[in-house]
Amino acid sequence: MPATKIPPSAKTSVHPGKTGVDLLHNPSLNKGTAFTNEERKKLGLLGLLPPRVSTMDQQVLRLINNIRRQTSDLQKYVEMIALLDRNETLFYRAVQDYIDELMPIIYTPTVGAACQMYAHIFRRSRGIFITKYEKGAVKQVLKNWPHQDVRVIVVTDGERILGLGDLGCNGMGIPVGKLSLYTACAGIHPEQTLPVMLDVGTNNEKFLNDPLYLGMPEKRIAGKEYDDLIHEFVQAVQEVFPKALIQFEDFANHNAFRLLEKYRDEICTFNDDIQGTASVTLAGLFSTTRLTGMALKDMKILFHGAGEAAIGIADLIVGAMVAEGLTKEEAKKRCWFVDSKALVESSRSDLQDHKKPYAHKHPPVGNLAAAVKVLKPTALIGVSGMAKQFTKEIVEEMSRINQRPVIFALSNPTSQAECSAEEAYVWSDGRALFASGSPFAPVEHQGRTYVSGQGNNAYIFPGVGLGVVACAAKRVTDEMFYEAAKTLARLVTQGDLDTGCLFPPLTKIREVSAHIAAAVMSVAYRRGLATEPKPRDMLAFAKSRQYEPVYKKYA
């Protein structure tokens, strides 16, 4: 057994230390109507609950029926968060049992709308909020958190929430949602997770003028003041939660890249928008090679968008192409970008630093449609956050160039997708190999049903986190994300591919996460980054560390 302790097994008989109403108001201890008659007598619960005892299965059924009666996805989200606030175990059991139905509610695409309305649907605070006014006292703020063995922190400053832009403090819905997936998809114990909002202000005038906005109604801080607060937070985590992984989430490009570069070799951290997105996209490309017969190193990839997600994907693809025999420069020349202005090429003088490594020598090209015609790419990847950019003309041109055009519309939420699954399949006459960031319903076209894959980071980051936590890794490396991508692609069956799906079904995501965790652990042990004793069977060990949402038995 590892030296590191984890919270008690859900099956262990324990006394909660609370009784009566206090017990019912503690979401990590509450069982609601599932408290047995014996427990009700011992814990001072007689008369505080309806008399009939429910099983967990009955509670889940009641919940899912209530969810399905709601008339909007936002109302369903509110119901689910309300459940998380009162009965954590039941929340995770329901999400596990109905992952296909509930993941789009508790995360993308619905979480985008929930963040936009955060101040108006607020019920109960979750996580830690840190502002510039806590400068010098961040460590004390973190010590207010009730759980000491925090292993995974998701932190945002709310500046680039999905494809929705600066949502300020409202962006707290993202760390809460991400961490719920760490638990539901990989089995990280909920008491080992901590969502953090670094509220450094907002430049969103709508929120600044909203009297119900809950964040600091001030313009964003920047420069040294911003960097000093970030640094104090990072250092405070090392002292208060020394074994915690810090996941940076939804930071704007100008901060995301430099913060990753600053801290990646100093602490246990990664940026999911850069590295997680890259890994799941690379896995999707690996899957396409089984259908096209074309090796990854022979692909030419055109990105629409040149922000943190796009560059992160390209960097990981370059590493994978090098592993297949190309030089780094040869691999870079197989990745092209169109940003909001034009083709990224060497004659442009307006390029940000992160784009310059991919600014190849080429005559100027003014837009995406023209770039597709000139470059003749194998794969088109949308990470622009701009809706409807893959037009009928573009998809038809991709289909003229390629027998099986690869079209990934990865921008979230669904409203920002570059095209829909139906558009990709119909415009390509069913030949497109399509994936999207948010889910689309199956598409019927000419007598065939296409089930598109969701290239969602949820396939990657929970498993990476589980692997890091299980072996107590000191760092998170790009090699871990490369191995995660290979592992995810390997778990796609021929049956999945036959339906058009480039990823395993979500119903298998806990199994997928365990395999990814084992792959991450293998890298950590191979590179001397793990600090726990090496287990004989890493997959079995990863599975043994997965939290199961089963009610405790109170003696």
Q: Among all residues, which ones are annotated catalytic?
A: 107, 178
CB atoms within 10 A of CB 180: 26
155 vs 253: CA distance, rounded Å: 15
Supply the DSSP string of 152-213, one letter for each residue. EEEEE-SSS-TTS---GGGGGHHHHHHHHHIIIII---GGGEEEEEEE-----HHHHT-TT-
What is the greatest pairwise CA distance in the chain?
Answer: 80
Which of 434, 447, 375, 384 has the alpha carbon at shortest distance from 408? 434
Tokens of 447: 């007598």
Place of tokens 């929930």: 114
Is 282 exposed, middle or buried (CB count within 10 Å of its CB: 0-12, 13-18, 19+)?
buried
Q: Which residues contact 366 (CB under 8 A, 6 or more apart)?
A: 342, 343
CB atoms within 10 A of CB 389: 22
Task: Determine if the peptide bond prior to 109 is cis (ω within 30°).
Answer: yes
Which of 292, 374, 378, 274 has the alpha carbon at shortest distance from 334? 378
Query: Can you name the residues that pair with 153 across neighbouring β-strands?
Result: 194, 246
Supply the DSSP string of 327-349, one letter for each residue. -HHHHHTTEEEE-SSSB-BTT-S
147 vs 144: CA distance, rounded Å: 9
Phi, psi dihedral angles at 223 (to 5 degrees): 65, -140
CB 407 within 8 A of CB 428: yes
Half-sphere exposure of 75 (CA within 13 A, CB side): 7
Tokens of 160: 């680039």
Phi, psi dihedral angles at 193 (to 5 degrees): -120, 150
194 vs 518: CA distance, rounded Å: 23
Task: Determine if the peptide bond prior to 535 is cis (ω within 30°).
Answer: no
Going by their DSSP bridges, the two strands 406-409 and 379-382 should be labelled as parallel
